[in-house]
Structure 1
Amino acid sequence: MDIENFIYCLEAVPDAEQVETTDVVGILEHMALTQEISSIYKACDTIEGLEESLNFLLYEDHHFQDYEIIYLVLPGEANSILINGYYYSIEEIAELFEGQMKGKVVHFANRKILDLTDDECQYFLDVTGARAISGYGFHSESLSSAYTLDRLFFSLFYENDDLREVVEQMFQKQYKLCKLLDFRLYY
């Protein structure tokens, strides 16, 4: 019996009503074909849309327990995300996820930097129940983590659930890129 690997992806877009295939969608489709990692993709353009997508995941999707990675492709700064011109702190995002991410890894693409204090990290993990939170310390408009490092992280994660070993392998395989984008894992 094949074990399926699942990712739930939420991406902030300018207009969620406009049907558009983003780069992230193309990458997720390619991962499904080449890496056997299935995904559900939702676009959102407001915090309410983000919350609605989370509620769908939690209450409507019967495969929720199968999603080990929640992939957030959201712009923002060190400890906040930006949706529709408004900033929301990592604490506010933690409260949206409150108690619902037990055992999951919440991974941010490098559209926002992830630079948390120990207290912010611990608060997020405690409130959400997440196993870990990961992302990058370097944001670049021209260099997306989705093309290489996110794919590598997801693939290695589904081969080995020891997060320390996954990070070691990432640095062994893509040292320069991991250093350039400043890959980070909080657990």
Structure 2
Amino acid sequence: MDYDKFIFCLEAVPDVENDTTTEVVKNLERLAFEQGITSIYKTCDTIEGLEESLNALLYEDHNFKDYEIIYLVMQGEGNTICLNEYYYSLEEIAELFEGKMTGKILHFANAKVLDLSQEEAQYFLDITGARAVSGYGAAFNKLTSIPLDKAFFGLFKEQGNVVEIVEELYKKHYALCKLLDFRLYY
């Protein structure tokens, strides 16, 4: 990721009206300070909020092409996300953003287990146009994926091939990758 590339982070919160600084925000600030990777952070508490935030990024932000990674911090399991106690399948999310994520990498923090079949992953990639979907197979069990997320994002500064980035991530952080069961669908 070049110095002019960004991360767009969307975190699910119980109520967007409550303005609190989460651990994710603090770590994105550290990422900017330590590695020079800029991010935009937004919260959502409904599927409409998720759609509105991503559409604003797509249609109103003239730098959208510079957002290589869409970082999603949300609860959920398998191939679903949970917003305000409602579960949405990644197929539903794919249909909301049909053809709108071309070349992007959607990365899920381990607040949600990412467990897709090959068919589900391919459907998501084909419909959205995303380059890859990544996340973790191990549930958030008092061990946050933030350190590994930061390392993953940092590797984009050095190279652009997502497979090589994941190989390098495993070389540098093998134990943590295995513990959290880092996954990449491309």
TM-score bin (small chain): over 0.9
Task: State the distance in 1 between where 2:148 and 2:122 align.
Answer: 24
Structure 1 partner of 2:96: 96
Structure 1 partner of 2:84: 84
Q: Does residue 1:117 correspond to 2:117, yes or no?
A: yes
Task: State the distance in 1 between where 2:3 and 2:176 align.
Answer: 30
Task: State the distance in 1 between where 2:26 and 2:154 align.
Answer: 16
Structure 1 window deviating more from structure 2 (155-164 vs 177-186): it is 155-164
Structure 2 partner of 1:13: 13
Task: State the distance in 2 between where 1:35 and 1:45 align.
Answer: 30
What SS does structure 1 have at the residue aligned with 2:151?
Answer: helix
1:36-185 equivalent positions in 2, closer than 5 A: 36-146=36-146, 148-185=147-184
Structure 2 partner of 1:186: 185
Task: State the distance in 2 between where 1:116 and 1:124 align.
Answer: 10
Task: State the distance in 1 between where 2:96 and 2:40 align.
Answer: 19
What SS does structure 2 have at the residue aligned with 1:101?
Answer: coil
RMSD value, Cα: 1.0
What SS does structure 2 have at the residue aligned with 1:3?
Answer: coil
What SS does structure 1 have at the residue aligned with 2:87?
Answer: strand
Listed one character per residue, the Cα deviations across residues 83-125 of structure 1 (whole Å, up to 9, x for unaligned) are 0000000101111221111011010000111110111001000
Shift of 1:157: 1.9
Structure 1 partner of 2:32: 32
Task: State the distance in 2 between where 1:44 and 1:3 align.
Answer: 27
Question: Letter of the aligned partner of 2:150 in structure 1?
Answer: R
Question: Letter of the aligned partner of 1:85 in structure 2?
Answer: E
CA contact (8 A) 1:74 1:108 kept: yes
Shift of 1:3: 3.4
What SS does structure 2 have at the residue aligned with 1:8?
Answer: strand
Tell me the percent identity. Answer: 65
CA contact (8 A) 2:3 2:37 kept: no
Q: Does residue 1:22 correspond to 2:22, yes or no?
A: yes
What SS does structure 1 have at the residue aligned with 2:138?
Answer: coil
Listed one character per residue, the Cα deviations across residues 29-66 of structure 1 (whole Å, up to 9, x for unaligned) are 11111111101101001111111101111111111110
TM-score, normalised relative to structure 1: 0.96
Shift of 1:23: 0.4
Task: State the distance in 1 between where 2:78 and 2:23 align.
Answer: 23
CA contact (8 A) 2:3 2:36 kept: no
Residue ranges of structure 1 left out of the alignment (5+ in a row): none
Shift of 1:158: 2.4
Residue ranges of structure 2 left out of the alignment (5+ in a row): none
